[in-house]
Amino acid sequence: MEKLKITGGQTLHGEISVSGAKNAALPAIFACLLTDEKCVLDNIPALRDVDLALNVLRTMGVICDYQEGKAHINAASLNTRQAPYHLVKTMRASVLALGPLLARFHQATVSLPGGCAIGARPVNMHIDGLRQMGATLKIEHGDIVSKTKKRLRAANIRLPQPTVTGTENLMMAASLADGETVIENAAQEPEIIDLAAFLNKMGAKIRGAGDERIYIMGVDRLRGATHNIIPDRIETGTYLCAATAVGGDIFLKNARLNDLSAVVKKLKAVGAKIQQQQTGIHLLMKNRPRAVSVKTAPHPGFPTDMQAQWMAVCAIADGAAEITENIFENRFMHVPELARMGADLLQHDGFVAVRGVQQLSGARVMATDLRASASLVIAALAAQGMTTIERIYHLDRGYVRMDEKLQTLGAQIERIH
C-alpha cells in the first residue's frame, strides 16, 4: 500500500496547473449514455474515480477511449441497462447512470452506491424525483430497479434540500422527458452549470442552471457533442490553503476565483493576498495566518469539501476559530489524526473548536476520506519533522499527482510504494 512521507517547514513557490474538475467530469461521462452518437470530453482528470466511471460504462458495452486528458465515448453499442455492483460499490457518482438509462431506455438497474464514509448521502431525492416523472422504482437486493412504460413525463420537482448528484440526475432524465420539468431548490454549484452547458451542446433545452430553479424542456433525442471540463475548484482551494498555511508565492494556472468566492473571502481574512490573472490565480502569503471561523453550506456558501483543509490552516493559525459542518454528519474523522500532530482541537456536536498552535509535529497518520487526506498533507507541510500518511488511495480519488505538483512548488514530499 502506498504512503506519503512529508518533511515540513518549506514555503511553497512556483507554478502548477489545476486539473479538470472530477465532480464535473463524472456527471458528463454518464451524460454520454443519453445519446447513441460519439461524445468527446476534454480536460478529464486522470483519477481513480474517472477510471471507475469509464469502466462502469465499458462493462455495459459502451466504447470508451481515454488518452491524455481526453475521453471519446460512444454509447451506441450499449448492451445492458444494469450498472454492476462490483464497480458501483466503490464510487457514489455511479448513481448518475440511473437518470440517463431510464430516460433513454425506459429501464435501469443501478446498485446502491458507495464512496467515502463521511456520512449518510441518501438517494431518496433521486428516486422521489424520478417517481414524479412517471417512473416506477424499488430497492431489490441492494439495487435500484427502475422502469417506465413510456417516455418520462415533465414534473414540478421541489427538492427537500439542495443535492448536487440529485439535481444532475434529474436534469439529465428531464432532458428527454415529455414537456418542461422544473427543479426547485436545485443545487447551484459550478459543476451543475458545466453539466447543463454540455447537455445544451447535445441539444437539450436547459435554462437557469446555477440558480435555485432550473427549467428543462424535454427533447426527442440528444446528439453527440464536444465539451471542455471546468477546472477543479476544490483542488484550487486545497493548494491555496496549503500555501496560506506554510507561506509562499504560488500561481495556479487555469484556476478560477469566481468558483470559490466563499473560500477566497476567508483566505483574504486570514491574511492571504489573492488575485485573478488572465491565465490563473496568484497567491502571496508572508505571515502566519489568522484563525477565522467557517460554517459549511450549499453553494455559494463555504463548501463542505474544503472544511478539512480549512481546519488544517486554523490548526497553526494565530487565535481560535470554530468550524461548523452543516452538510455531512460524519465529516470530522480527520480530527483525531490532526490531534496526533499536536493540533489543539475540541470536537462538539456539529462543530470543532480550534485553537491555533505555533508548531505542529510530524507523526504517523492515516487518511480516512478524500478531503481528510488533503488536510493531513497541509498539516504535514506545516509541521516540524517527518509525517507519514497512510491509505493515500483516498487522496488519489480526487487529486491528480498531488505529490508531484507539491514537489514542483518546493515541498519535501515523497510517495513510498
Q: Which residues are catalytic?
A: 116
Asked if residues 356 and 319 have their Cβ atoms less than 8 Å apart, the reply is yes
DSSP 134-148: T-EEEEETTEEEEE-
Q: Per DSSP, what are the bridge partners of residue 72?
A: 40, 65
Q: Cα 396 to chain center, whole Å?
A: 13
**Cα 334 to Cα 306: distance, rounded to the nearest angstrom:** 13
Of 73, 34, 29, the C-alpha closest to 49 is: 29
Helical H segments across 202-251, by residue range:
233-246
Residue 40 contacts residue 65 (beta carbons within 8 Å): no
- Judging by DSSP bridges, how do beta strands 82-83 and 107-111 pair with one another? parallel
b/e map of 327-345 (b: 16 or more CB within 10 Å)?
bbeebbbbbebbbbbbbeb
Helix (H/G/I), strand (E/B), else coil: 49 = helix
C-alpha cell read off for 95:
448513481
The residue written with cell numbers 427533447 in the block is 219
CA-based max dimension of the chain: 65
Name residue, grid cell 498531488.
Answer: 402
C-alpha 51/C-alpha 310 separation (Å) is: 29
Contact 181, 207 (CB under 8 A): no
Separation of alpha carbons 198 and 247, rounded Å? 38
Q: Which residues pair with 158 in a beta bridge?
A: 184
Roughly what angle, to the nearest 10 degrees, separates helices 124-132 and 98-105? 20
Rounded distance, CA 6 to CA 411, Å?
8
**Of 287, 238, 168, which is closest to residue 399 (Cα–Cα)?**
238
Strands 320-324, 351-355: pairing kind: antiparallel
